[in-house]
Structure 1
């Protein structure tokens, strides 16, 4: 592993510069359906492991023999899911049981390096909340390095994608959250000085 050494409290932590996603139970992931099987789907989660989503998780009932699961999820569809089980002896099992989970039917998905997801989320979710509040877009960062966004305009979406790639390139820049906020406001023509400046011209 190549990375940067950082002192955190009383321990040294290596922040990787490159790497792949290793699933952990409970992780929120954004997967891409690669294959439809008799009782479920094989899903790419940007990992050395291909994940499996059981049909019963999507349907809420057992899959009937001969049922065409392509009616619910087909190859090329994105799905928001959680890692239900994984022990490295078999491929991870996904679930879509839960609020906000399931087939992604709107918005855009972009890929970033999985090792950048902590920076995209930020400490106490500071970065992802900045991206969402400043652009007005819905933003969800999957632990596997995929980001889903739903914006009201193509212009805002393009700006958000640009900021996401900026964060990916400069994850260890000091004051990155404030830099991103300032850039977004400048591009959208927002008065950075805030409402007080408007009240006192």
Structure 2
């Protein structure tokens, strides 16, 4: 019978023993060493149905097919645009993956210009980490208005919440439009700067306190207290 050696959501360090026994499988952020599963990074432990993972407290975004991200146009060529994706590799948005038809030889800056923010989807990542993007699909587009903030990419699931519960809570209490990119960038657009600031404060609070139990209740009290 296996034994869990740390508490759920405990912060662990590289080299720390997490569980003992062959009943568990190592996931991301950890590895097996004999009868033990050991942490390979600084992060928060999660054990679910025998799978052990360590969610890193920091680190760059690792792109995966299907991710919706927020990128910034940094360059362009005859064939499309290069976007800063908040990871080690730029993303390529080709003309054929743009959300509208573009004539050959058209001025591409009329569609996406330098420093524009774009909501896009990762459609391909190859072995040398070339990242292909698309803006074909619901909600994928150039961003107009609002503000962009950044959180640690590993904290994105907590910002979104189970089935979108956390971000829905913030939207409801602040009346802001919010898109959370898997690469840690968040777009916020409210009816006024005060609402955008409140949404920003709530999201950064989630990032800083993501490992603490009762987070949803604390965020609810924070938002309701500020809106009185």
TM-score normalized by structure 2?
0.79
Aligned-residue offset at 1:57: 2.2
Structure 2 counterpart of 1:27, from 67, 78, 85: 67
Give, in whole Å, the separation in 1 of the partners of 2:201 and 2:59. 22
Structure 1 residue ranges, 4+ long, deviating more than 4 angstroms after superposition: none
Please say if residues 32 and 79 of structure 1, whose CA atoms lie closer than 8 Å, have aligned partners that are also in contact. yes
- Whichever structure has more helix as a proportion of its residues is 1
CA distance in 1, matches of 2:219, 2:74: 34
Secondary structure (helix, strand or coil) at the match of 1:118 reads helix
Superposed, 1:1-201 pairs within 5 Å as 1-58=41-98, 60-61=100-101, 63-65=103-105, 67-189=106-228
Q: For each residue in 1:110-136, what CA deviation from the matched residue of structure 2 results, as whole angstroms up to 9, or x when unmatched?
A: 111111101101112111111111111
Considering Cα pairs closer than 8 Å and 6+ residues apart, tell me whether 1 or 2 has the greater RCO: 1
SS at match of 1:97: coil
Aligned length: 188
When the two structures are superposed, what TM-score results if normalisation uses the length of structure 1? 0.89
In 2, the alpha carbon distance for the partners of 1:131 and 1:59 equals: 29
1:169 Cα deviation after fit: 0.9
Q: CA RMSD in A?
A: 1.4
In structure 2, stretches of 5+ residues that fail to align are 1-40
Greater fraction of residues in strand: 2
